Amino acid sequence: MTSFVSHLESALDQTHLDAHSIQTLHRDRPLWVKYDLDRVAAAMTKERVAGREPTMWRYRELLPPPSGAELISFGEGMSPLLRCPRLGGELGLENLFIKDESQLPTGSFKSRGLAMAITMAHHFGIRRVALPSAGNAGGAAAAYAARAGMECFVFMPEDTPVINQYECVQAGAHTFRVNGLITDCGRIVREGMEAMGWFDLSTLKEPYRIEGKKTMGLELAEQLDWRLPDVILYPTGGGTGLIGMWKAFAELASLGWLNSEKRPRMVSVQSDGCAPIATAFDRGERFAEPFPDADTMARGLRVPAAVGDFMILDAVRESGGLAVAVDEGRISSWMGQSIRAEGVAICPETAACIGALEQLTATGWVKPDEEVVVFNTGAAQKYLEAIEQPLPSIDLNRPLDWESIDAGTP
């Protein structure tokens, strides 16, 4: 079986590890998957890629599964890149795009990472996996585990959106609610490893979820005809998506596939209810302190301590970008603004990015004519708890009153 992976490499100290066996962390920190890019360049051409099925697997030479490995997939990607002129206009931007990941299997971009992680775990003969999840990762893991015929254990904070709890249970995962945060759930997974014999699928604790999420960056470049936008806003929890996209851009540049030198300024967005990365960025630090009393309705952002903190901060700084925190109290209003302006139902995590854009256009950090891409990482429909609007009712015992229906107040 051919693979273009050369080795795995510690993100902390560049130690090389063998990619032919299953690996986790090195000195408690994540690993990069490294490719033999000369061989990739010889085997993969833009024309070949263009002729393949429109899924994330079309970039297969730049992905870890060896040829012939069984892919555990529901056909994920490519997600649409939607031009948003009305929302852009409200924010003072002429070229705003939303890349709508809510259309992916299980309704979030988590499917990219977990399709890859579970494909590789399955390839290495793993039969039992476990992970902590604040929401969408659990649902995606449960679905891909079911598709692979694998056993899956999910540990969630007890206030995780109810849809995420049900999607895990319904896909047959052993699902538990924990009276703590995602970091407490992560500890259960770690402590149970020996007694339970499960493989830890936590964010960045195995090397392949980044490779799945990297495909967002590959796809974006292809959709823009192999150039990149000026600014990318990405709602950051564990940070895999941001780290993965930054890696994708570096790999495309090494392959000589990008039509211009320009790389986007990466903006990592958090809520001020849980902002460890934004705090470390402001303080000029490379490692983040655990964020105290973390709470936000954007559950995917409620990660008080990220094992890949330095990878996120390195990428943001290298790109000339920023890490910002926005007002938790305004997240629902930014959700509403997007769906009313464009019909795109954005999740609370992405709503934080709209808030960040509001700040960054006001200060002039983002210029009106710059090309800006916001990632809608998940489907708003999964957050029943965030929808508070009671509907006006119609009483059939009374005559219909068109005037008040027109006004929305029957």
Ligand X SMILES: *Cc1c(COP(=O)(O)O)cnc(C)c1O
The residues of the shown chain that bind ligand X, judged by CB under 6 A, are 108, 110, 135-137, 203, 235-241, 300, 347, 349, 377-378
- Minimum CB distance to ligand X, residue 303 (Å): 7
Which has the closest alpha carbon to 162: 174, 142, 144, 177? 177
- Minimum CB distance to ligand X, residue 119 (Å): 18
In angstroms, rounded to a whole number, what is the distance separating the alpha carbons of residues 62 and 409?
Answer: 56
Q: Which residue is nearest to ligand X (CB)?
A: 300
In angstroms, rounded to a whole number, what is the distance separating the alpha carbons of residues 399 and 397?
Answer: 7
Give 88 or 241: the residue with its C-beta nearer to ligand X: 241
Give 44 or 140: the residue with its C-beta nearer to ligand X: 140
Structure tokens at 245: 């996209």
Left (φ > 0), alpha (ψ -120 to 50) or beta: where does 233 sit?
A: beta
- Minimum CB distance to ligand X, residue 329 (Å): 19
Give 52 or 286: the residue with its C-beta nearer to ligand X: 286
Q: How many residues appear in the chain?
A: 410
Structure tokens at 203: 């964010």
Give 255 or 326: the residue with its C-beta nearer to ligand X: 326
Structure tokens at 150: 């694998």
| 386: helix, strand or coil | helix
- Minimum CB distance to ligand X, residue 366 (Å): 21
| 146: helix, strand or coil | helix
Helix ranges, 54-105 (H): 85-91
- Provide the β-strand partners of residue 180: none
Q: In the 8-state DSSP scheme, what is residue 24?
A: -
In angstroms, rounded to a whole number, what is the distance separating the alpha carbons of residues 63 and 56?
Answer: 9
Burial of 383 (0-12, 13-18, 19+ CB in 10 A): buried
- Minimum CB distance to ligand X, residue 99 (Å): 13
Give 5 or 243: the residue with its C-beta nearer to ligand X: 243
**Residue position matching structure tokens 């945060």:** 181
CA of residue 404 relative to chain centroid, distance: 43
Give 64 or 235: the residue with its C-beta nearer to ligand X: 235
- Minimum CB distance to ligand X, residue 371 (Å): 22
- Minimum CB distance to ligand X, residue 108 (Å): 5
CA of residue 145 relative to chain centroid, distance: 19
Give 255 or 325: the residue with its C-beta nearer to ligand X: 325
User: Edge-to-edge strands of the sheet including 31-35?
Assistant: 16-17, 5-10, 31-35
- Minimum CB distance to ligand X, residue 78 (Å): 18
Give 110 or 123: the residue with its C-beta nearer to ligand X: 110
φ/ψ (deg, to 5) at 371: -90, 120
- Minimum CB distance to ligand X, residue 144 (Å): 15
| 134: helix, strand or coil | coil
Give 202 or 361: the residue with its C-beta nearer to ligand X: 202
